[in-house]
Chains A and B, each alone.
Chain A
Amino acid sequence: MSEDWLLDLSHVSVTFDGFRAINDLTLRLRPGEMRAIVGPNGAGKTTMMDIVTGKTRPDCGSVRFRGQELTRFDEPTIARLGIGRKFQKPTVFEALSVHDNLLLALRGTRSPLRMLFLRETPDEGERIAGLLGRIGLTARERLLAGALSHGQKQWLEIGMLLAQDPRLLLVDEPVAGMTDAETMQTADLLRDINTSHSVIVVEHDMDFVRALGVDVTVLHEGSVLTEGTLDRVSADPRVIDVYLGR
């Protein structure tokens, strides 16, 4: 019953110069689900997100989102279908204020011609204020994004994802460079986001993954090694092998 899946990657492979970064990967996500993805460096986690968001075209296999084949679409089309992405290296628009970063991300028109005539509405102002509260950057609204700390940029980028209000959020290493307290706050934030959005989180930080309390998929050499609860997965000898083998 493939229509039941929100996201359905089946038998996807990608080769870079003869190197198979994604190897017959099959991965499925239910609507409303949050899934954590772990795996050693180079396992293909980021590449998987590249494929879903249209940055990388797979050599073979299919990627379906709400029953629709994504592989023939480009990035803006896929984004407009409702898939948002936070990058491994936080990328915010540094020369724009925190406020303007969120304003550009807000769900709404993407037509440059219409944007020429658009001015910020009170409703948009309220939505931005609400988002700022959620990501804890209210006091920094008018600060340039380039002046934020690394952790704050991560949050701003999550805020931009929320502003986009996609059905599915792909979040690549959200807590890299954060303190323990910030990491736990981020876990809370993502759990909160998950009450209304589906999420895929890639993260190496096991305390963070534990705090999320969701099913884990272990990726290794471009395909799924195992799936299940964190306790079950971390007891799996193959997983231990993969991580210790490095």
Chain B
Amino acid sequence: MKTSMDFRSVRLAAGLVLLLSAVLSLGSLLPQQGVFSVSPFVVTIVGKYLSYAFLALAIDLVWGFAGILTLGHAAFFALGGYAMGMYLTREIGARGVYGNAHLPDFMVFLSWSDLPWYWMGSEHFAVSVLLVLLVPGALAALFGWLAFRSRVSGVYLSIITQALTFALMLAFFQNGLGFGGNNGLTDFKDVLGFDLHQARTRAALLALTGVFLAGSLMLARWVVSGRFGRLLVAVRDAESRTRFMGYRPDHAKLLVWILSAMIAAVGGAFYVLQVGIINPGEFTPGNSIEAVIWVAVGGRGTLSGAVLGAVLVNFGKTLFTAWMPEFWLYGLGFLFIATTLFLPCGLVGLVGSMGGRAGRNARTDPTPELVEPGRDEE
């Protein structure tokens, strides 16, 4: 269909994600020093990039398709991370520094005698997986319901999303909140009985991240390529017009917003599993803004561009920070400006326009063109 409705690249991106994660995780199981062997460092770092890609995908879903420029999405990512981190903390059991089987170290340190009620159930993996989805989902539902219903949009919405993540950051820094204060949750030992420090566990986690990311890409594609996706674009471009057709744009936005928060949260969960720590720093407003830049660089409104941008920019960050760390922020700023000026459709748009019609962006293309005859995708 039409360009912002042209998602052929999404399937390709999903395939590449699967391939990359499979090859690297298999390679990490080969004897080290071999030609094709992959070092544990690479497995961890790629796992981190792919986890961030969930966040980028989630942002593209709301920004690219519903026009909601969120600058606080890392909050949902971090909440998903904390939910998984709670489970991993409970898995430590008596192996902590204080050897307390019932209380995490930081609670012993605070001389708490009981687990707070909201830690109940966190020792069960299944409950934690539900919490990974439900806590950020519920927060998104509440926030979105309030914001969209009172028709907060544009810059004002961006600002309150920043406020949301900032407020959460301050709250999570408090020791009294019961999430480990500024140290956060860390020193995890195993997940479902598998040792987190073993190459096989880490390989499996990377492969799973790939599978879930590819699945999220296909889910997002399904969401935006159907009739609901067309409604989102209509709301993005002429919100009030949809109201006169009987639609409630606030409901449409709320639905995609909640879904997006959950996708970000899954990324946070995979992040914690592989990076091994979650702390309030993940709520830093700057993190959310950085994630928006990944999407802009990759190509807003393309889904695949979000994943590409997240991986490439973070890869660049790894190289850059090893080389001259103090200049990374300038580099990022430059990248954002350059993208905005020279690559309004991002890298995917660039590849598309070199490859012909596939990536041509209709919104900026004034020449009338007949789009390929053929029905809706799917």
Whether B234 pairs with A164 at a CB distance below 8 angstroms is no
Q: A142 touching B373 by the CB < 8 A rule?
A: yes
A112 to B236, CA, bound (A): 14
* B1–A143 touching, CB < 8 Å: no
Shortest CB–CB separation between residue B305 and chain A, in angstroms? Answer: 17
Pick out which of these stretches binds chain A: B99-107, B170-178, B242-250.
B242-250
**Range for the number of chain A residues in contact with chain B:** 35 or more
Given the known interface contacts A95-B363, A142-B371, A142-B373, the answer about A119 and B226 at a Cβ–Cβ threshold of 8 Å is yes
Q: Check if A115 sits within 8 Å of B227, measured CB to CB.
A: yes
- A113 CB–B CB distance under 8 Å: yes
Residues of B within 8 A of A117 (CB): 226
What are the interface flags for B133-162 relative to A under an 8 Å C-beta threshold, 1 for contact and 0 otherwise? 000000000000000000000000000000
B288: Cβ under 8 A from any A Cβ:
no
Query: How far does the Cβ of A244 sit from chain B's closest Cβ, in whole Å?
Result: 35
CB-defined interface of A56-81 with B at 8 Å, one 1/0 digit per residue? 00000000000000000011100110
Q: A110 within 8 Å of B by Cβ?
A: yes
Set of chain A residues within 8 Å of B244, measured between Cβ atoms: 53, 55, 75, 79, 84-85
Chain B residues with CB below 8 A from A103, complex form = 227, 230
Cβ–Cβ contact A104 & B252, under 8 A: no
Given contacts A76-B248, A142-B371, is CB(A119)–CB(B376) below 8 Å? Answer: yes
Task: Report whether A164 and B245 are in contact in the complex, using a CB–CB cutoff of 8 Å.
Answer: yes
A115 & B2 in contact (Cβ 8 Å cutoff): no
Nearest Cβ distance between residue A14 and chain B, in whole angstroms? 18
Residue contacts A-B, CB under 8 angstroms, 11 given: A55-B240, A76-B243, A84-B244, A85-B244, A95-B362, A95-B363, A96-B233, A100-B5, A120-B376, A148-B368, A164-B245
**A interface with B by C-beta (< 8 Å):** 53, 55, 74-76, 79-80, 84-85, 87, 91, 93-97, 100, 103-105, 110-113, 115-120, 142-144, 146-148, 160, 164
Which residues of B come within 8 Å of A, CB atoms? Answer: 1-2, 4-5, 223, 226-228, 230-231, 233-234, 236-238, 240-248, 251-252, 255, 362-363, 366-373, 375-376, 378
